[in-house]
Amino acid sequence: MEVDLRKANELFHDVESNVYDSKWGIRYDSENALRVKHKFEKLLGGPFPRVDKLLEVGCGTGYVGLNLSLNEGLVGELHACDISQGMVDACARNAEELGVAVEARQAELEELDYPSDEFDIVIGHAVLHHIPDVEKGLSEILRVLKPGGICMLAGEPTVMGDVMGRVARTGTLKAVQVYAGMGGYFGGVKAKLRPQGEGGADDHEIQEFERVVDIHTFWPPSVCRLAKKVGFAQARFEAEELLSSFVGWMTRTVENALSEDNLTFRWRNWSYHTYLRLSVLDEKIYPYVPSSLFYNMLLYLRKGG
Ligand SMILES: C[S@@+](CC[C@H](N)C(=O)[O-])C[C@H]1O[C@@H](n2cnc3c(N)ncnc32)[C@H](O)[C@@H]1O
């Protein structure tokens, strides 16, 4: 059966928008404002410049755009778009709570509803791997960028990173199921598996959907070649998250598999801070380990002019 991947993405993310921030532990605060800024600074190789007009594509609930805007005076006008109206609404709600001005609208990356030569910077996080036609998506970004403008895409799974993520997920799920089956304890009470269908992200059909909408994993040099082919003057990449990603997939699998009663505040705090500590360690080992092993690709593209 032919699947409409754009429609599937829209429906899946509409459902996910209700649980997205809690599922992925997304926070909007000064710590994350700096984390997001540093992510892009690693790619820029220097300080993030003050930007007049910034567009976030595939904004979801606003993780990168809103957190970047929390850095005083960094972003002039923030625009955000997503194929899912549910995500656009969630982003607008988060912006309102944070007191950040955003012009958010529903738009597909492959057909951006913005004039040409409009933005100084286009950013995206974990979006390119959902786009059926990557070449068309990159061409649209090129079109809406001002001459000399830059695009930075982060959080895109590499081929090797994806293999390691799968190993972490399947191994952890098996272990949790066996442990709960043996009557083991977790968080001070008997480990209980979460019933299917409790909350959007845990529903079996939704999980099947997730496999469909995660369309690509990337071999970074090939994406750079493609970006040059569509007309970018410069294309290069970095990578991030090795140990943090492996352990992060394990802890998230535990959280998705076990009942809420098992997931104490102490556990959630531990898993979040372990992820942060391992991210710091990953940065330290980055110069010594092949970048293709890291989970996430960061892409830097510059339009000529
Ligand atoms: C994994 S989420 C990432 C959301 C957010 N950027 C973040 O990092 O939390 C991917 C997002 O891309 C959006 N998306 C998927 N296909 C898209 C398309 N063709 N055009 C625009 N957005 C799309 C989804 O609706 C979803 O919000």
Q: 246-299, pLDDT tens digit by residue?
A: 999 999 999 989 999 999 999 999 999 999 999 999 999 999 999 989 999 999
Segment 61-82 mean pLDDT: 98
* Closest ligand 1 atom, residue 10 Cα: 25
| pLDDT tens digits for range 169-204 | 999 999 999 999 999 999 999 999 988 655 444 556
Closest CA relative to residue 127, chosen from 110, 146, 145: 110
Closest CA relative to residue 16, chosen from 215, 202, 162: 202
Residue 13 C-alpha to ligand 1 middle, in angstroms?
Answer: 7
CB of 109 sitting under 6 A from ligand 1: yes
Q: Indicate the helix (H) or strand (E) that contains 80.
A: strand 75-82
What gap in Å lies between CA 283 and CA 35, rounded to an integer?
12
The pLDDT assigned to 92 comes to 98
pLDDT: which is higher, 5 or 1: 5
Mean pLDDT of all residues in the chain? Answer: 94
CB of 15 sitting under 6 A from ligand 1: no
Whether 138 shows a pLDDT value over 90: the answer reads yes
The pLDDT assigned to 292 comes to 85
- Confidence class of residue 21 from pLDDT cuts 50, 70 and 90? very high
Output the residue whose Cα is nearest ligand 1's atom 11.
58
What gap in Å lies between CA 156 and CA 299, rounded to an integer?
9
Mutate to test the pocket of ligand 1, among 28, 130, 131, 240 (most ligand atoms within 8 A of CB): 130
Whether 2 shows a pLDDT value over 90: the answer reads no
Residue 206 C-alpha to ligand 1 middle, in angstroms?
Answer: 16
CB of 43 sitting under 6 A from ligand 1: no
Residue 119 C-alpha to ligand 1 middle, in angstroms?
Answer: 19
Residue 16 C-alpha to ligand 1 middle, in angstroms?
Answer: 11
| pLDDT tens digits for range 201-248 | 455 666 777 878 989 999 999 999 999 999 999 999 999 999 999 999
* Closest ligand 1 atom, residue 132 Cα: 19
The pLDDT assigned to 118 comes to 98
The pLDDT assigned to 197 comes to 52
Residue 156 C-alpha to ligand 1 middle, in angstroms?
Answer: 11
The pLDDT assigned to 23 comes to 84
Q: Is residue 217 within 8 Å of residue 297, measured between CB atoms?
A: no
Closest CA relative to residue 165, chosen from 101, 99, 250: 250
Segment 143-170 mean pLDDT: 95
| pLDDT tens digits for range 125-136 | 999 999 999 999
Closest CA relative to residue 303, chosen from 91, 137, 102, 145: 145
CB of 6 sitting under 6 A from ligand 1: yes
**pLDDT over 90 percentage in the chain:** 88
C-alpha distance from residue 221 to each of 114, 151, 172, 244, 300 (Å): 29, 16, 31, 23, 12
Output the residue whose Cα is nearest ligand 1's atom 13.
58
Topology of domain 5-302 in CATH is Rossmann fold (3.40.50)
- Confidence class of residue 3 from pLDDT cuts 50, 70 and 90? confident
Output the residue whose Cα is nearest ligand 1's atom 12.
58
What gap in Å lies between CA 237 and CA 298, rounded to an integer?
5
What gap in Å lies between CA 210 and CA 231, rounded to an integer?
32
pLDDT: which is higher, 203 or 115: 115
Please state whether beta strands 103-106 and 75-82 pair in parallel, antiparallel, or not at all (unpaired): parallel
